[in-house]
Amino acid sequence: MGPYPGAGDASDADRLLEQLDRLRERSARLAEHLEAAARELATAGTVPDVGLVDEIDAVRSEFADVRRATLAIAATLDVPAPLPSPEVTALPTLARLLPALTRRNQNHAQRDDERPEEKLRR
C-alpha cells in the first residue's frame, strides 16, 4: 500500500501495467480468434462455439478489473481520468493513465519524506 490509503504505490501501478500488457496479448489473440470465426461464419456458415463467447467474457472482465483499479487509484491521488469510467473502453487510455499515477504517487511520497517533522506533530 502506498503513502495514502487506497492510493497504492509504484508497485501497484507496475502490477497494473503488467496486467495491461497481458491483457493486450489476450486481446490480440481474441482478435485473431474473432477474425477466424467471422471467416468461418461467412464462408461455411459455421456459428462460433461457446468457447469464443467465454473468451470474450474473460477479456472483458479482466479489462473491467484493470479499469476499476486504475481509476480508483486515480481518484485517490486526484489525477483526473481522461473520461468517465464507462467511457474508458480502450487499453491505450489506461496505458496513458498509469504512468501519471506512478509519478503523482512518487511526488506525494517525496513531499512526505521532505517534511518528517510534520508527521511527528500529527
Q: What is the pLDDT of residue 115?
A: 59
Evaluate whether residue 62 is within a structural domain.
yes
Evaluate whether residue 42 is within a structural domain.
yes
Contact assessment for residue 70 and residue 98, using Cβ atoms and an 8 Å cutoff: yes
In eight-state DSSP terms, residue 62 is: H
Evaluate whether residue 1 is within a structural domain.
no
Please, which pLDDT band fits residue 2 given cuts at 50, 70 and 90?
Answer: very low
- What domain range includes position 89? 10-114
Please, which pLDDT band fits residue 82 given cuts at 50, 70 and 90?
Answer: confident
Residue 81 has pLDDT above 90, yes or no: no
Count of structural domains, the chain? 1
How many degrees, rounded to 5, is the angle at CA 25 between CA 64 and CA 9? 55
Start-to-end Cα distance in the chain: 20
